[in-house]
Structure 1
Amino acid sequence: MFESDGGLRGRGRTHHSPGPGPRARIAARPQASILHADLDSFYASVEQRDQPHLRGKPVLVGGGVVLAASYEAKARGVRTPMNIGRALQLCPEAIVVPPRTSEYAQASKEVFAIFFDTTPVVEGISIDEAFLDVAGLRRVAGEPRTIARELRARVRREVGLPISVGIAGTKFLAKVASAASKPDGLLLVEHGGELEFLHPLPVQRLWGVGPVTAEALRVHGIERIGQLAELGEQGLRPIVGRAAARHLHALAWARDPRRVETGRRRRSIGAQRALGRRARTPDEIEAYLHGLTDRLGRRLRNADRVCRTVVLRLRFDDFTRATRSHTLPDSTDHTETILRTALGLLTAAMPLIHERGLTLIGLALTNLEDADPRQLTLPFEHGPGPELDTTLDEVRTRFGSSAVTRAALLGRGEGLSVPLLPD
């Protein structure tokens, strides 16, 4: 069985409280005691909260692309990250507002404080969503449904924002439940009712099913999760491959043993820039890659992390995507080292870009490790030292990220950046 609460439709990092340090994993439980809390249309909701004349109206937050859309705009077909021009074609009366990242960061910090005040077992996913394990709170705070109701009421009362909450026995089902409860709702999937809730849903609700996989499944007559579950892992392998078949089959039968974890550090960081449909010169594309590299290098050093692998992400004019990666012999946080690697990947991909056009470029740094200044690699000769990176970081921290920029980015800017959970 599953139960739902409808909520009042709401109108109106950065650094979060880290909660406790690393702790032992919490074992998965059969009871519905995992909450997935997700702020509704976060940026747009903050704008509607702070600007009363926007309440009840379609609101788009962004510049060249839509970073967030209010539910009034979503009802007209607007989605993220959609080009602003296309969004205004779908919803001409929409009001476009520039992002205010500091306000979103502050609102996120306040909401996460409520999460940690509710339970010490909080796993932040992004600045506007988190998993909470409340299994150990029955005697002191009541049943999970009661805890979720109070959490939603506190976020509305203390921060002024709507939030949707899903409750289930696994992280996957809790996230699906919160999505199904939107906007501003509460949905409980009771133990024993998981398949009744899950199997009628479209296969796109499964983690790992994007447009390409969904189309491959549709060709074989599979559009609902229940159909996928009935096909079995063996039947899925010819369609999606061995690893994906195992993963999707487990989720389709509501099997997800992952725990809600605290104190776990990010495995990768990334940034991207939408370029629109206009043709870009190689120099322009390279300039945007410079900006992404500067941004990620600064994040690495601020978090005392180093990376080993550089990943270039591309989206083409036909909406297909490609990635290219290179693993370095030694981990680094040196901007120029990362940039040289990224530029090498870009050069190799340039024939494909010329052929298919480029609408988005992204960069990710993976295989992250904690920086250890005591550990030196052999030989001990060093290339360029960290002094320039450190000095630029200090200037940008004090005077803003645009205080010092590369000449190639003059007139182009760094692009939109959004507040993030701590790295």
Structure 2
Amino acid sequence: MRKIIHIDMDCFFAAVEMRDNPILRHIPIAIGGARQSRGVISTCNYPARAFGVRSAMPTGQALKLCPHLTLLNGNMEKYRIASRQIQAIFARYSDHVEPLSLDEAYLDVTDCSLFQGSATLIAQDIRRSILRETGLTASAGVAPNKFLAKIASDENKPDGLFVITPAKVDDFVKTLPLRRLPGVGAKTAERLSQLGLHYCSDISSAPLPLLVKNFGGLADSLIKRSQGIDERLVCNREQRKSLGVEQTLEHDLLSYDDCVSALTQLLPKLQQRLEHYSNTPAGRSTPMQKVGVKLKFSDFRQTTVEKQGQPLQLDHLLPLLDEAWQRREQQGVRLVGLQIGFKTTTAQQLTLAF
């Protein structure tokens, strides 16, 4: 039985700005692009969320919901400095830390002897240390595996702690809505609802052929997560699954040639990022597996066309762009993206001694 903590900083970018400028603490603020550049909201504070503003929302829509929203450009270097402080705190408690982004991480504290090995008390102390040393608040989830720990960290946000002990796992997952499971997006949630499947407990009584027919490879994950099962290890190797660049365009692109031009401008940026990553220890041992082109249309539908074994060269990307362009249904293109996927290795399951 493992002891996993998921730490999730509360509205991280916005919280750093509020820490550094107390005037911002009690007004709606958001980090994101301006309405004129058709930007999107990166994150926002809780006063802004009270108006319905959310991450990844177009800035124009956010300003309609909250006309007095204060928009900030953000400062990534400042956020990285705060993130490094937080990561240093994690290292005091465990050698097994898996960062997911600048503002969240998993910690496996199974072997941590602090507080008589109580994962709950360890999580409380981590949160206290973060607040004391950075002036920022964090929410934490404690559970026997990664999936449940991540779900738990969202239960008492902001600045909260939620614990799912092994004895409580069955009761917790029975009433857990399926839309909260990883991999269940809006379309999958809608399909589950159409089949009369709303909660994890509904999956246990659903016929396996029905799940496989409707959800294919996702069926196995649905069954395991609905039983609270997650065998993934906390992996502290910096092995990326993907790398990408994208641009939200100032005006919708209405011609294929304009999309080619946008893709041509993105390509050197991704090549530069790939070169930088390839010079890291993880990058040197992680071969590129596939490339993909992403388009988001005027109606906010998006599509990605990928192909394995392709070099990152324009002449090999154009057929992917052409296929994505054919899916536009007469819509303009508001975003162009380019991405590569890496071949990752699967960590072996560890046997723990009790």
- Interval containing the TM-score (normalised by the shorter chain): 0.7 to 0.9
**Aligned match of 1:407:** none
Equivalent of 2:306, from 325, 329, 349? 325
* Deviation (angstroms), 1:39: 0.8
1:309 aligns with 2:279: no
Change (3 A) 1:178 1:315: same
Q: What residue identity is the alignment partner of 1:311? A: G
- Please state how far the C-alpha of 1:178 moved relative to its aligned partner: 0.5
Q: Which runs of 5+ in 2 are unaligned?
A: 34-38, 346-354
Using structure 1 for the length normalisation, give the TM-score.
0.73
Q: Please show how residues 86-125 of structure 1 align to structure 2 within 5 Å.
A: 86-125=61-100
For 1:141-290, list aligned pairs within 5 A.
142-231=117-206, 233-241=208-216, 243-275=217-249, 278-290=252-264
- Aligned 8 A contact 1:310 1:341 in 2: no
Match of 1:51 in 2: 21
TM-score of the two chains, using structure 2 as the length reference: 0.87
Distance in 2 between residues matched to 1:220 and 1:369, nearest whole Å = 34
Q: Is the 8 A contact 1:39 1:163 kept in 2?
A: yes
- Taking a change above 3 Å as real, the CA distance of residues 172 and 115 of structure 1, as seen in their structure-2 partners, is same
Q: Name the CA distance, whole Å, in 2 between partners of 1:151 and 1:248.
A: 32
One-letter code aligned to 1:319:
F
Equivalent AA in structure 1 for residue 31 of structure 2: V
2:50 to 75, 78, 82: 75
For 1:204 and 1:150, the matched residues in 2 are separated by 31
1:317-369, Cα deviation, whole Å (9 max, x unpaired)? 3333322123336xx6xxxx433322332134333336233233222111358
Cα pair 1:310 1:338 within 8 Å, conserved: no
Question: Which digits, 9 at most, give the CA deviation of each residue in 1:397-422, with x for residues without a partner?
Answer: xxxxxxxxxxxxxxxxxxxxxxxxxx
Letter of the 1:216 partner, please give it: R
1:42 correspondence with 2:15: no
Alpha carbons 1:233, 1:246 under 8 Å: kept: no
Mapped to 2, the partners of 1:339 and 1:141 lie a distance apart of 57
Q: Where does the alignment leave 5 or more consecutive residues of structure 1 unmatched?
A: 1-28, 371-423
Whether the 8 Å CA contact 1:326–1:341 is kept in 2: the answer is no
1:303-382 mapped onto 2 (5 Å cutoff):
303-304=277-278, 305=283, 307-328=288-309, 337-353=312-328, 355-368=330-343
Query: Displacement, 1:77?
Result: 1.1
- Kept in 1, the 8 Å contact 2:138–2:159? The answer is yes
The answer (yes or no) to whether the contact 1:199–1:224 under 8 Å persists in 2 is yes
Q: Is the 8 A contact 1:271 1:363 kept in 2?
A: yes
Distance 1:109 1:368 in 2: 27
